């Protein structure tokens, strides 16, 4: 059923109030096709919604917001590995914990990431040294213009750091309906990330006998200690990507700032955006209704239920200061609508 003039505040984790001209919640592929047909007939732009954890509403949306409520989860264990078929409307964290509870390893580092399964491939979600693409098999997506279903392989998705083809050349052309993952039997814990190493050491755990459940527990504890829950303090999680720079820029920054937090990556050096924002003096600062979280500078919060422009101005001010102080460009992770 198509609803008219709906406030999207309950449907985005930043709790920004903005109306959409039309709204539909779809729970089957046929309902999704019907919603897309309605939008085509009226020549409306589409705003796909999962958990609303990766969007900034900068004003009222003049089109059709489609909340994708497709459900269905099939997990087939095979030793410590197995396969997963998950509909786009499933909760990502619940999927992770379902695999962990069955002794399957691979996704535990991605525990407690907010949002739905369908959003995960779009920005190739990642945390604590692991990315979705490490376990990705394929996905199914519906073409917005035709309602036809298409299958995408790993290479089709063109995954990169917090990026995919769905943020690039196929942007706004497909809505993901199902994601298929494969976890290998020869699972090995991935705990090189410093925060995980520290937690494991504090617990006195033996690194040679770690289980997926232990690592998931560590990740959940670390995230809870640093990141506010959106239902308590509205936020969109990590707001900026960790910028990647070449070796020369890294060495210059390291010489000027010996405590710089950075990690070697395939493309060069990945700088901790939270460290840059903190050292630029933004951690804990408030700018009217919005601000920067006092424990994690990478998280912008909206405790005063400000508008999208408030969030945008804050993000631009932070990026400008980081550019001036470090010569590094910050890129937001969330997508802005309209």
Catalytic amino acids?
162, 238, 333
Pairing relation of β-strands 290-292 and 299-301?
A: antiparallel
DSSP per-residue codes, 212-241? HHHHHHHHHHHHHHHS--TTTS-EEEE-BP
> From CA 132, how far away is CA 5, in angstroms rounded?
35
Whether 158 contacts 165, CB under 8 Å: yes
Q: Which residue has the tokens 């239920």?
A: 305
Q: Which of 264, 231, 269, 260 is nearest to 326 (CA)?
A: 260
Which residues lie across from 263 on neighbouring strands?
A: 270
* Peptide bond before residue 282 is cis, with ω within 30 degrees of 0: no
> From CA 138, how far away is CA 313, in angstroms rounded?
38
- Sign for the CA dihedral angle at 266, 169, 14, 322 comes to positive
Q: What are phi and psi of 191, to 5 degrees?
A: -130, 30
């Amino acid at each position: 059923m198509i609803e008219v003039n709906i406030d999207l505040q309950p449907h985005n984790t930043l709790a920004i109030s903005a109306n959409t001209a039309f709204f539909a919640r779809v729970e089957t592929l046929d309902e999704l096709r019907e919603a897309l047909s309605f939008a085509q007939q009226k020549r409306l732009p589409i705003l796909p919604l999962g958990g609303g954890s990766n969007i900034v509403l900068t004003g009222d949306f003049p089109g059709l917001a489609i909340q994708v409520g497709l459900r269905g989860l099939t997990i087939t264990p095979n030793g410590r590995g197995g396969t997963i078929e998950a509909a786009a409307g499933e909760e990502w964290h619940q999927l992770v914990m379902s695999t962990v509870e069955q002794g399957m390893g691979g996704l535990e580092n991605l525990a407690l990431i907010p949002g739905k399964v369908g959003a995960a491939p779009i920005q190739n979600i990642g945390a604590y040294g692991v990315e979705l693409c490490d376990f990705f098999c394929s996905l199914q997506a519906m073409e917005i213009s035709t309602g036809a279903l298409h299958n995408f392989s790993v290479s089709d998705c063109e995954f990169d750091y917090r990026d995919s083809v769905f943020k690039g050349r196929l942007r706004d052309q497909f809505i993901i309906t199902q994601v298929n993952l494969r976890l290998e039997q020869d699972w090995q814990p991935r705990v090189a990330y410093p925060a995980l190493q520290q937690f494991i050491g504090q617990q006195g755990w033996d690194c040679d006998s770690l289980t997926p459940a232990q690592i998931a527990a560590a990740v959940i504890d670390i995230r809870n200690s640093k990141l506010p829950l959106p239902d308590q303090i509205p936020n969109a999680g990590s707001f900026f990507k960790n910028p990647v720079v070449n070796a020369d820029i890294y060495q210059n920054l390291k010489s000027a700032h010996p405590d710089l937090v950075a990690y070697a990556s395939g493309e060069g050096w990945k700088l901790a955006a939270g460290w840059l924002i903190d050292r630029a003096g933004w951690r804990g600062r408030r700018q009217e209704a919005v601000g920067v979280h006092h424990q994690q500078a990478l998280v912008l919060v909206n405790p005063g239920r400000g508008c999208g422009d408030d969030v945008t101005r804050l993000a631009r001010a932070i990026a400008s200061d980081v550019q001036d102080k470090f010569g590094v460009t910050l890129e937001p992770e969330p997508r802005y609508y309209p």
